[in-house]
Amino acid sequence: MNVATIKYYDISNGPGVRVSLYVSGCRNHCKGCFNPETWDFNYGTPFTEETEKSIIKGMEPDYIKGFTLLGGDPFEPENQVVLAPFLKRLRAVYPHKSFWCFTGYDFERDLLTGKLGDPELVMQMLSCLDVLVDGRFVEELKDLNLKFKGSSNQRTILVQQSLKSDEVVLWDEETVI
């Protein structure tokens, strides 16, 4: 898996100051994507042990509220293989920080049904996430007033609550994560 970039002081992709990992590779190719260079699985640099150590170190300060995973698309099968064990290790180090992820895939239709990649890896990834913003970016539905998403079809899902209740539970600004 390749890394497009890492932002160590990101305030755009979840509440508070966060460390954000942008992975490479996306098959959705959404019209108007803000990161089309990350569609290429070979873009950027390989994810290494040094990359992991750097992210872990970057999350140490108390003012870092959490970690965000986006891209490209973290749920592409090629990325799942690396990200599932990485998220598990990162969550173990920072159990009280929030973990967000952005994907162009649909939570119920693509991720929970096992249609995308290895169902076990998908569930391992989901088990580490607090919030998932799902759905393709649709340029015609772009809305600059939306918080933490680009188009009105996208949802901000509370992952653990949704998995427990077997129905989608949405995040709102009142929810503290």
Output the CATH code of domain 2-165: 3.20.20.70
Please list the pLDDT of the chain residue by residue as tens digits (177 residues): 999 999 999 999 999 999 999 999 999 888 888 888 999 999 999 999 999 999 999 999 999 999 999 999 999 999 999 999 999 999 999 999 999 999 999 999 999 998 888 999 999 999 999 999 999 887 898 888 888 888 888 999 999 999 999 999 998 876 666
| CA–CA distance, 144 with 148 (Å, rounded to integer) | 10
What is the pTM for the complete model shown? 0.94
- What residue type is assigned to position 149 of the chain? K
> How far apart are alpha carbons 88 and 99 in whole angstroms?
11
